Amino acid sequence: MSNSLLTVDEALDQILGRITPLGLARSSLLEAAGSVLAEAVASPIDWPRFDASAMDGYAVLHHDLTPLLTNQPVTLQVVGFVPAGQHVETPLRAGQAYKIMTGAPLPPGADTVVMREDTDEGEGQVRVRVAPKDGRGANIRRQGENLRQGTLLYPTGVLVDPGLIGLLASFGRSQVAIHRAPRVAILSTGDELAEIDARDLAPSQIINSSSYMLAAQVSRAGGVPIVLPLVPDVRESITAALKDAIACADLVLTIGGVSMGDLDLVRAAIEELSDQVGFWQVAIKPGKPLAFGSVGGIPLIGLPGNPVSSFVTFEIFVRPALQKLLGSHQLRLPRVMARSTKALEAPRNRTLYVRGKVFADAEGLVFDADLSQSSANLLSVVDIDGLGVVGPGQQLNAGDWVHVDLLRSPRVR
């Protein structure tokens, strides 16, 4: 156990050092979007698979176009038509041309395609007025021009996006290997909390909002949330609930009860069950108490009870852990630089995470911190685009550049 003040990086490194990616699963392409690739993807074919026309026009023998060098038009006999999806086997001979469409296989013998705009079409013949600027081979997509068979396209650990799905489908693949999505149990405790559908709240009670907020964050990060029933401040009940959570999940999140308060019973229950646990004071604002351990190989992270603090610490510590469980190479939120619209100041010994909106303008990115940065104000995490990161003791003036961890794409003014 350690109660020393850890930096954000120190705490995150300890968490990630004890997380291993989950096993593999095979997924239909129709269900794979947003998953993390668990197999390297190489091209099984040359792409294009055959020499094809890049234009609508006429497939010809370049030698037949020689008179065009002296501005003499060339008339060729049209011996056939090749639409996309069909091919011809009869070789092209001198003085002949095939009418051809974009994407159609090149007829045997043809070595150049003349654009339709450079011709005059007649009955059974075509008059070529202008030679292709690129000479022999003009307007042809060569076999393997884009990809050669065996070329590595994607390594493991990248996000399966629509483009990758389209590429796999073009190879005739209907399935892909992915890392299984982590099941994340969310356990909130406290006599002061009431379920979301409670009708008669005691004067001292509040609705459990954090479990639902964290469930949405889990989903956004690629996990599968499991929201467990509220647990009262009874040591035995908390221990039993933790055992249930561990039995159904790949990662367990607890909310509250990990600081030094007399009723912080989650701390005691975690310590009783965990193989190895650290109760940390992390140099971060909002948020400070954090617990991390494992039970039977299942990682467990204890977040602060304050909703804003749990939101921020999820993005800083839990999201990277989820990404590692998913097998992703991109663990942290993408970080950019933006001009701050407001003065920002961090405490002397803590990194400040400021909630705000991010805009893109002609000069770059702008970070607009929300007016209220109170950790008690849940509105400060509504409709935000990123977290401004201000180092310990750092003071920034309006107009200064600030690091911003992006939660979503910037807005356009």
- Break the chain into its structural domains and give their ranges: 5-23+181-325, 33-45+148-179, 52-141, 335-412
- Give the residue carrying structure tokens 């197999």: 39
Q: What is the pLDDT of residues 300-324, one digit of tens each?
A: 999 998 999 999 999 999 999 999 9
pLDDT at position 300 is 94
pLDDT at position 1 is 43
Q: What is the pLDDT of residues 182-191, one digit of tens each?
A: 999 999 988 8
What CATH code would you report for 5-23+181-325? 3.40.980.10
For the segment(s) 335-412, the CATH number from 2.40.340.10, 3.40.228.10, 3.30.70.1560, 2.120.10.30 is 2.40.340.10
∠ CA(3), CA(206), CA(241), 5° rounding?
55
Say which CATH superfamily domain 52-141 falls into.
Molybdopterin biosynthesis moea protein, domain 3. (2.170.190.11)
pLDDT at position 377 is 83
The radius of gyration of the chain from alpha carbons, rounded to an integer in Å, stands at 31
Cβ 139 vs Cβ 112: under 8 Å? yes
Residues of the chain with pLDDT under 50: 1-2, 262
What does residue 31 show for φ and ψ, rounded to 5 degrees? -115, 5
Average pLDDT, the chain: 93
Quote the percentage of the chain above a pLDDT of 90.
Answer: 79
What CATH code would you report for 33-45+148-179? 3.90.105.10
380-405: burial string, b at 16+ Cβ within 10 Å, e else: bbeebbbbbbbebebebeeeeebebb
Q: What is the pLDDT of residues 92-107, one digit of tens each?
A: 999 999 999 999 999 9
